[in-house]
Structure 1
Amino acid sequence: MSWDWSVILKYLPRLLEGTWLTLELVAISGLIGIALAVPLALMRVSRSPWVRAFPFAYIFFFRGTPLLVQIFLIYYGASQFEAVKQSVFWEVLKQPYWCAIIAFSMNTAAYSAELIRGAIQAIPKGEIEAAEALGMSRPLQVRRIVLPRAFGIVLPAYGNELILMLKGSSLASTITLLDLTGMARTIIARTYTPLEIFLAAGVIYLLISGVFIGCFRLLEKRLNRYQHYKHQVPAELTKIDPRLQD
């Protein structure tokens, strides 16, 4: 068995070109997904069963079916309807790039909505009661109390979701997109060096995941920095009562 490491250096610019498309898909889908997830999560914690019905069905479908099936339903399924072809949406749905973004966005929105819903329900009730005692309206509570606290709680889990979406983005190659995986497969078809090229692609995915993890840890530390000080008592009070140091 021989290893041809030179092929990695030769085709590294092409792999980086596919990497850029992968990052683009993940970034755009992540932004759209979180924008959809917030209202879905707020609807999920509503007291009205009629309001909870739609997000429950949406989340149940997208969490219960494979991402690959969702991509195929959007990319291949939309073309089966003549009404879709005649509509203004066809200019978007006929392009694999936008079909991949729609599928990734709707999929990650479902998972993110459940994460945010759990974070909202994990907020101590005393904080909500304090906001009500101050006379805050429900929209003001959501904007100033609920969402900031929920994002702080959900951040570690959302970082994992983003990494899962990064790995799931490799399915974009199934609808002709030359993302990192698609570019790797194209290079392998020319060079017949699957081990070297897939190893290089795996290392690139690993480096991207490492950057994501580092960024989310910094963001988590910043959003939850109050937790490092909430048990500290001002020095002036400890002078009055030394027992407060405990």
Structure 2
Amino acid sequence: MSQRTTRTGLPGYVILGLLALFALGPLVLFAFNSLKTRDELAVNSFGPPSGLHWANFAEAWQEANMAAGLRNSVIVVLGTVVGVCVIAGLAAYALARMDLPHTGGIMLWLVVGGALPTQMFLVPLFFLWAKLNLYDSLFGLIVVYWALFAPFATLLLRSFLVGLPREYEEAARIDGASELRILTRVVAPVAAPGFLTVALVTGLSAYNEFLFAVTFIQDSDKMPVSTALFSFQQGFTQDYALLSAAGLIMLLPMVLLFLFLQRRFIDGIAASGLGGT
């Protein structure tokens, strides 16, 4: 029985191994190139480095202004995550627990709004933000991200809340608790895996987002790390070793964060009911 199971599962392991190689291969090559000199990279573009040239990271950190980029990205990510969790939490609780009219229409609006290409809103939003003095502002970019990521977060949290039992909420209502108090004191602690999943998905999306960041932020001191890397690439197009080092600096924080929280992320996706979709 054990041998039969092993033979049956062997093609699956082979396929998973190939997929892992396909996913990790570019990252490994990226890391190799970041540790090479410019001359070595021209001669040996795909092999491991002959020596570890750590000076690339120090030079890329300084030349690409990565410290300011990472600081701005942290501000944008934290502001986006907090805002999206508040907006999506309130909306999801209302859709899942309160008897609202036209709930189906609201859900359809969220799905359609989240599916529309964001480029449709870029030009009118640009002129509106300029009139409101939100252009070239981190807060203005955070507000854009609230609108961009809140629809999916609302759908995900609603799917999670629908599966939670209502006994504790009914007991809190009998004791005279308001809906807001029920949400913050009863529902939110139980729904913590769902909120963590929303926070991680939203944080990764805000950290990697480029189109709105490059459009609404022009001051080099306010650029998040994605646009700081783009600006650095424009001036160091031929030095791919430095570009690889700068890209690896940008990549590592989110990779480490995801690896640290991946189990909770998977549990939250499974509990929300979106794992099979």
Given the two structures, how large is their TM-score scaled by the length of structure 2?
Answer: 0.60
The answer to whether the Cα contact below 8 Å between 1:44 and 1:52 also exists between their aligned partners in 2 is no
The answer to whether the Cα contact below 8 Å between 2:69 and 2:225 also exists between their aligned partners in 1 is yes
Rounded to whole Å, the distance in 2 between the matches of 1:156 and 1:27 is 14
Which residue in 2 is equivalent to 1:241?
Answer: none
- 1:172 Cα deviation (Å)? 0.7
Q: Which amino acid aligns with 2:161?
A: I
49, 52, 59: which is aligned to 2:101? 49
Which residue in 2 is equivalent to 1:204?
Answer: 249
Rounded to whole Å, the distance in 2 between the matches of 1:171 and 1:51 is 31
Rounded to whole Å, the distance in 2 between the matches of 1:38 and 1:157 is 10
The answer to whether the Cα contact below 8 Å between 1:163 and 1:209 also exists between their aligned partners in 2 is yes
Report the aligned-residue RMSD.
3.6
The within-5 A match list for 1:69-108 is 69-76=120-127, 78=128, 85=131, 90-92=132-134, 94-108=135-149
Which residue in 2 is equivalent to 1:12?
Answer: 61
The answer to whether the Cα contact below 8 Å between 1:29 and 1:102 also exists between their aligned partners in 2 is yes
Q: Which amino acid aligns with 2:162?
A: Q
Rounded to whole Å, the distance in 2 between the matches of 1:198 and 1:73 is 34
Q: Which runs of 5+ in 2 are unaligned?
A: 1-37, 43-52, 269-277
The answer to whether the Cα contact below 8 Å between 1:170 and 1:181 also exists between their aligned partners in 2 is no
Which residue in 1 is equivalent to 2:87?
Answer: 36
Rounded to whole Å, the distance in 1 between the matches of 2:172 and 2:137 is 47
* Same amino acid, percent of matched pairs: 13
Report which of the two has the higher share of helix. 1
Distance verdict in 2 for CA 1:154–1:184, change over 3 Å: closer
The answer to whether the Cα contact below 8 Å between 2:81 and 2:202 also exists between their aligned partners in 1 is no
Greater relative contact order structure (CA < 8 Å, 6+ sep)? 2
Deviations along 1:5-55, one digit per CA (max 9) or x if unpaired, are: 656532312123222222221111222222211221123223222467557
Which residue in 1 is equivalent to 2:161?
Answer: 120
- 1:122 Cα deviation (Å)? 1.4
Answering whether residue 225 of structure 2 is matched by residue 180 of structure 1, we say yes
**Range that drifts further, 165-174 or 35-44:** 165-174
Q: Which amino acid aligns with 2:141?
A: A
Q: Which amino acid aligns with 2:191?
A: A
Rounded to whole Å, the distance in 2 between the matches of 1:157 and 1:105 is 12
Q: Which runs of 5+ in 1 are unaligned?
A: 225-246
